[in-house]
């Protein structure tokens, strides 16, 4: 512990801080690794970036060190080598007035990890908030009205007419199928209505291939009810459908 005795002292002879080099010696780690961890913790807001100073090492070379306060020293040690938290508590006990209240090893360990956990929670909340914003932007981009209907798309009115022609389905049945959540289909885009009296409105369009596949599936799921009627689980009453060739 002799290498740790150069700690800066505050009023009354009490140590105000310890250096990053002293923490490295305490944890038996490289000084560069300790400083890197301190900077990362400061970037995350877990600790404040401590002031730095130049000191001479045992070879007489100038070395930059951080001056770490007691509170932040527990966080740094908990991040790097939590098993050495007891050493850090012993260190501060050795340098404080005996009448001053000293946290136990367990208390210091718990406080340091509580700070780390709070920081990780805040980062997770920020990440979730950013993801929500990105999702909303994507939704807006996806639903921005197109200037014209794509060639291989059709409106709901066109779907009704085609499904009546192909499957003999009524408009009510077609709308029920399109709106049923179990099929998971919805307009892939909105198209701006170009009519003069549209007042900036838009309408949804579906891919023709998706609609064809959907109603082919729907027809295959129908079961006979009578000579001219069929039933389907999502329709409350029997209905007519053309024979599938």
Write down the domain spans for the chain. Answer: 2-121, 153-231
Give me the helix-helix angle, 20-27 and 31-43, nearest 10°: 120
Q: What is the DSSP letter of 15?
A: B
Predicted pLDDT at 98: 47
Q: Dihedral sign, CA of 43, 44, 45, 47? A: negative
242 token code pair: 């053309």
Predicted pLDDT at 161: 95
Predicted pLDDT at 183: 81
How far is residue 216's CA from residue 210's CA, in Å, rounded to a whole number?
Answer: 10
Q: What's the burial of 84, exposed, middle or buried (CB within 10 Å: 0-12/13-18/19+)?
A: middle
Residue 3's closest CA among 108, 91, 132, 106?
Answer: 91
> Other CB atoms closer than 10 Å to residue 85's CB: what's the count?
20
Mean pLDDT per block of 10 residues along the chain (245 residues) reads 44 64 86 89 85 81 86 82 71 61 57 66 67 51 70 92 94 92 82 66 88 93 90 91 68
Strand, coil or helix: 44: coil
Predicted pLDDT at 216: 92
Return the CA Rg of the chain. Answer: 35
User: Is the CB of residue 73 less than 8 Å from the CB of residue 88?
Assistant: yes
How far is residue 156's CA from residue 148's CA, in Å, rounded to a whole number?
Answer: 15
Predicted pLDDT at 137: 44
């Amino acid at each position: 512990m002799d290498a740790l005795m150069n700690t800066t002292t505050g009023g009354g002879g009490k140590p105000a801080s310890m250096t990053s080099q002293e923490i490295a010696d305490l944890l038996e780690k490289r000084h560069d690794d300790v400083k890197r961890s301190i900077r990362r913790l400061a970037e995350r807001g877990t600790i404040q970036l401590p002031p730095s100073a130049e000191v001479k090492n045992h070879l007489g070379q100038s070395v930059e060190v951080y001056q770490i306060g007691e509170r932040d020293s527990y966080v740094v040690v908990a991040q790097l080598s939590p098993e050495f938290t007891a050493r850090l508590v012993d260190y501060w006990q050795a340098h404080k007035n005996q009448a001053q209240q000293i946290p136990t090893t367990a208390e210091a360990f718990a406080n340091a990890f509580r700070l780390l956990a709070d920081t990780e929670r805040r980062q997770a909340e920020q990440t979730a908030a950013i993801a929500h914003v990105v999702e909303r932007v994507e939704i807006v981009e996806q639903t921005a009205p197109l200037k014209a209907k794509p060639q291989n798309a059709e409106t709901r009115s066109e779907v009704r007419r085609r499904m009546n022609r192909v499957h003999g389905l009524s408009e009510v049945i077609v709308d029920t199928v399109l709106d049923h959540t179990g099929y998971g289909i919805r307009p892939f885009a909105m198209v701006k209505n170009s009519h003069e009296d549209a007042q900036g409105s838009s309408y949804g369009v579906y891919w023709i291939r998706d609609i064809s596949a959907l109603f082919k599936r729907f027809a295959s799921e129908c079961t006979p009810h009578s000579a001219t009627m069929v039933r389907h689980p999502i329709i409350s009453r029997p209905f007519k459908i053309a024979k599938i060739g």
